[in-house]
Amino acid sequence: MVRIRPETDDDLDAVHRVHAEAFGHEPVVADLLAPLRARIAPLPAIGFVAEDEGDVVGHVLVTHAWLDAPRRLVDVHVLSPLGVLPSEQGRGIGSALVRAAVAESDRLGVPALFLEGDPAYYSRLGFRAGGPLGFREPSLRIPPAAFQVVLGSAYEPWMTGTLVYPDVFWAYDAVGLRDPDA
């Protein structure tokens, strides 16, 4: 039975291992964890782990970003990364982690939670393409369909504009897709 719970400091090594295995082709993902957690921001980082028989098999991290709205900057959340051990994928663990992250973001009164991801997967969990809702990607390298958002109960219609990622994503070049032929 998989249990979703908040991450603790005791989980950090296991969480790093989950992302290193889940993103073996993109090792930078696991390297993002520590600097994202350490960042001083208006909204602290929130992590959840999926635990199966005492072992951490999945993890999600939600961190602060800004929405550059016409009225003012708005504190929002970004869901990244989400990882499940390859041997445990297909069991609904990732979905359960995303649901926990969405619920906690909304409980904290955060008006929007953004991510870059597969629309076929995330649309099942309430995410919608950001562009048609008046949001702009923080980089032209993010495919429009992959730029997604779920609106929280604190969202107000004037809250539109450009998502501004924290510097950690830029420092690790972890934004959007790079052209492999360039």
What is the count of structural domains for the chain?
1
Give the phi and the psi of residue 10 in degrees, each rounded to 5. -70, -15
> Do the domain assignments include residue 54?
yes
| Cα angle 94-46-70, degrees, rounded to a multiple of 5 | 100
| Residue 79: closest CA among 48, 34, 41, 40 | 48
Q: Are 60 and 79 in contact (CB under 8 A)?
A: yes
| Predicted local distance difference test score (pLDDT) of residue 181 | 73
Q: How far, in whole angstroms, is CA 72 from its chain's centroid? A: 23
Residue 121 domain-assigned (yes or no): yes
Whether 181 maps to a domain, the answer reads no
- What is the reported pLDDT for 25? 85
How far apart CA 128 and CA 167 sit, in angstroms, is 25
Cα distance between residue 120 and residue 55, in whole Å:
29
Any idea what the CATH number is for the domain that residue 88 is in?
A: 3.40.630.30
- Domain-located, residue 28: yes
Q: Establish if 30 belongs to a structural domain.
A: yes
Q: Which two tokens stand for residue 42?
A: 């208006």
Q: What are the mean pLDDT values of the chain's consecutive 10-residue runs (182 residues total)?
A: 96 96 90 93 96 97 98 98 96 97 98 97 97 97 96 98 96 84 68
Chain centre distance of CA 65: 11
Alpha-carbon gap, residue 95 to 74, rounded angstroms: 27
Q: Using the Cα atoms of residue 6, residue 9, residue 14 and residue 15 in order, give the sign of their dihedral.
A: positive
Q: Is the residue at 179 inside a domain?
A: no
Whole-number pLDDT of residue 182:
63
The reply to whether 176 falls in a domain is no
Closest CA to 81 of 139, 164, 8, 23: 23
Structure tokens, 154: 């604190």
What is the residue range of 33's domain? 2-168
